[in-house]
Structure 1
Amino acid sequence: MLTNDQLIKELTVDPTKGFIERLSVTLREQHFNIDQLIDLTFHADAQVGFRAAWLLDTTILASPEQYVNNLEYFVKRMGQVTNASCKRHYTRIMMHLTAPDAPEPIKAKMSSIDMEIVVEQCFDWIIDPKVKVAVKVFAADTLFNLCSRYDWIKEELASQVQFMMRDGGAAIQSRGKKLLAAIKIQK
């Protein structure tokens, strides 16, 4: 069985092609405590934290139902993410977990969790000019996915998307137009 210390060691060595995928398979097969991996995304070494977030992303999205009982802890910790490289993975995971096509056990669990931490964090990241485009896009998609749960999000999200589009590049323009159209349809 892979220990937490062994996993940290794996995450500190120079990666080879496919190492995250191989580690992810090992974690899933050994039923590694995913809460420990979530904690590793906050490692003092930013590179270890980033690789842990990448591994978390790959592992959870490969088998989300396996981690349904860890989702509440994941949501809680999302509100504490400060590592810029980890933000992308947290928002990407959250975008998939809140998606309309998420597996039924995930939808049921997510509906029982207070998502205000996620909403607040996503809006903060959308507004922050230092946050990378991919994080903003995943955060906006996550917020859109939560519109049916928190109806007030629609107006605020539309305003923030329009603001981002004013100075945004091609990726923001493209995704912004799609989101605004989807928000309009949902009203």
Structure 2
Amino acid sequence: MLFRDDIVKQLTTSLGKTTVDELSKKLKAQNFPFREVVDLTFHPNKQVAFRMAWLMDTLYFDDPMFYLDDIDYLLQQVPNIKYPASKRHYSRITLNLTSPRSPKAIQDKLATIDMEQVVEHFFDWMIDPKVKVAVKVFAAEVLFNLRERYPWISEELTNQLQYLMRNGSAGMQSAGKRLLKGLEK
């Protein structure tokens, strides 16, 4: 049985994908609380926090429905994210949650959650020059997915994408063109 201290100890050493997958399976098998997983993504040790965010990502994508009851808690933590590497995992999970292809139960749960803070922070991440391109792209896609729920997003997202595409990387150009095309419809 793994306890919080055991997990932190394992995360202080260098990890590979295989180790993260194994640890993920152990945590799921013992029904380790997802809220504690989320809490550990804010560990004061930057490497532990990043590795825990990676582990959280792996746990979530292994079985998104398994943690359905804790989606609101995960999203409430978005404003608290400080470490740049953790933003990638949170934005990737949020992209999956907001996808029109996510399971109906997830869509229903998401409909009960106030997403205003998530929207604000994802716009902040798009604007922040220190945020990595992958996070900006995931944030833009999340905002695109939420544009019908919050109609004001469309105009602001269009403006931000056009600005970011002026001198943006190939990844930003590609995502920007695709999202702008969707926004025109």
So what's the TM-score if we normalise by structure 1? 0.97
So what's the TM-score if we normalise by structure 2? 0.98
SS at match of 1:150: coil
Matches within 5 A, 1:140-151: 140-151=140-151
- Give the Cα separation in 2 of the matches to 1:123 and 1:182: 18
Identity of aligned residues (%): 48
Q: How many residues align?
A: 185
Alignment partner, residue 136 of structure 2: 136
SS at match of 1:2: coil
Letter of the 2:4 counterpart? N
- Give the Cα separation in 2 of the matches to 1:164 and 1:77: 26
Matches within 5 A, 1:51-130: 51-130=51-130
Give the CA RMSD over aligned residues.
0.9
Alignment partner, residue 26 of structure 1: 26
Alignment partner, residue 175 of structure 1: 175
- Give the Cα separation in 2 of the matches to 1:94 and 1:181: 22
Matches within 5 A, 1:150-165: 150-165=150-165
Letter of the 1:57 counterpart? D
SS at match of 2:14: coil
CA drift of 1:72 comes to 0.9
- Give the Cα separation in 1 of the matches to 2:159 and 2:41: 31
- In structure 2, runs of 5+ residues without a counterpart are none
- In structure 1, runs of 5+ residues without a counterpart are none
- Give the Cα separation in 2 of the matches to 1:125 and 1:11: 26
CA drift of 1:17 comes to 4.4
Letter of the 1:167 counterpart? N
Letter of the 2:44 counterpart? A
CA drift of 1:14 comes to 2.0
